[in-house]
Structure 1
């Protein structure tokens, strides 16, 4: 079900058309130490993977459209039988060419020697100065040496330009194969949520629910969680990124589950909130109805041609109006929104791009005032919520919160595809209507 090598080639060709006489450089993800000499499972850098499909560390990819022979070059770890016995097989230089379509490949140890050959006729370097400070310094050092000799040669890169600005708009539009992988990730994620709702009961610990969710991920072929699973009962549902998952679940608790799997590096991201004992209290139901209505109204505005912020603004409007009607906010709707007096209840945005990264590549605004326009092929989340923490402090001039409302945290999140004519809710297999969850 993975991406065909021809699609990776098409992506590289599309990017090379955009960089003209430049040379683009992409670095693989680093290996990350869990503790002492134990490493986390390797996860490739998303930009690197998007362009190459190559899933080993210690690699560099070059795209050089102006070179006479080599347009796609990979620097990789050389074959080493002794090391491979310990840490797994490597494709090596030959595999990089034969299996991944590189025009040329070299051992990663040859990078400093070979890189200038692919930079000396470029008019600029395309490279994202990321978290790898050492490799940033390597690229800057090569550039400085070329700049120093530019007056004698008359060629060479005169600037470094960020690859994000040209690559990430490509990543925002999902191909049919990408959508197939995303649908699979979301189908597995949905199955895990439905299994969790069936499994949970009063007296379980949150980590037991987490285990059932992540067992379902792996059982159906996912790599594992796309992000640390949130299983938050009681007051914990008011902590946005709660991941301790150790509380024992009590009667009359709400349980907020925010969990999604990663399937072939593509990610699901679903949140549901439901009453453990099958019955909402009056206060829980009132808040849930507001959040659900906010989400449904927001999803209606996920349409091609719509500015990105419109669905967030709609969600805020519905949430604030609902809180006013419950007496938890007071005043004029527009003034409350303008002055952000709703922020103690709702402190995050209503969605984000979704794809190879959970918070996927792509900008949300072009300049200070112009929002990105939704396009067919975009995938994003819609996830409004209301969080009334036990120690909530209302905004200035707003009413104190009665005790009966405190400790209620509700978020509802779905993954949405923008289509040519509207949108598709990709995670509708997980119920959210009140009659379906209580």
Structure 2
């Protein structure tokens, strides 16, 4: 009964246009106000305590790191590196788009930033090379989802904090799934290019030398900075030298040194804008986390999820089936809600069930983030698709054919992970014994 009342109040508030975070607080607070044994002081303590997690400090640091990276014009370097690696394969520009997203995700972790930064360069080039506007926009939006799986990922940090799961393990676990998504997307891109006879492009179209040997030498030089940043974060975490939060702080310091002294970006006004943007984005996430902490506490206090847990355990519910249902749920939620908001609401709800069924929390975390991030591609929310469509000069309705294909390709990766969880657990087990 308490669960139904909380959900009902929450949905009613959303229909009235109340922001998500405040809708959660109102829905959680009303039952508590009717409980004589609970004080408002206790409620506020729960919300304030949610900020005390050392892990959450990584969020503003990684957001700041991504902002500083943009000042170094690293996007141009990543595109150059991707082209040098792809060469003149069939569908090379589409492959390059996907590969650049993998690299961009490894230093940014933001899907929307991926589309905004890379789309303005790659989408016009793809259209000029013979790809349809709709395909160019869709492959850019779809490949941007990799940024939330490849570490560092803000969504993985949030999930780790909510589920009390090692962020370091989640980061390392996200590497193979991220690459898997990229490879499946590249396979379809090759098929599309072959079917539509879209050949390799001239290097000069995207500002590279036609001398392949020279291009590779330049690419190696350009890769030093982004590769070294990725290695500092991942190898440092894997080796146990520092935590994910400490890695974020080191990454910020390293990027600042490179931007200020090597790239000679010394406009302090730009640095202040980056800091303000990081602070604003972080505050939004923190407010949602506080609201989610209250919701989780209320549901625990009333044991609202216990009937569902008992039902699943008594009937020996299959964990694989549950993860498949979870995937469908999160894909639907991500279609209508901002990923952070959807995850902050439903992870606390479903976490007791995941624990009760004995599902590996790292596997559950990767499946959750992969499924919920798909919502940035699928309309009506589909922020990445909307932004890519605008850049390409088309609309999401015309892109739907390609969107559905890329969604199907993406779901194949999720299903493989559910059926073969070692895809996720292999690296954490190997590196973090």
TM-score under structure 1 normalisation? Answer: 0.21
The structure with the largest helix share of the pair is 2
Length-normalised TM-score, structure 2:
0.22
**Greater percentage in strand:** 1
Q: Which has the higher contact order (CA 8 A, sep 6+)?
A: 2
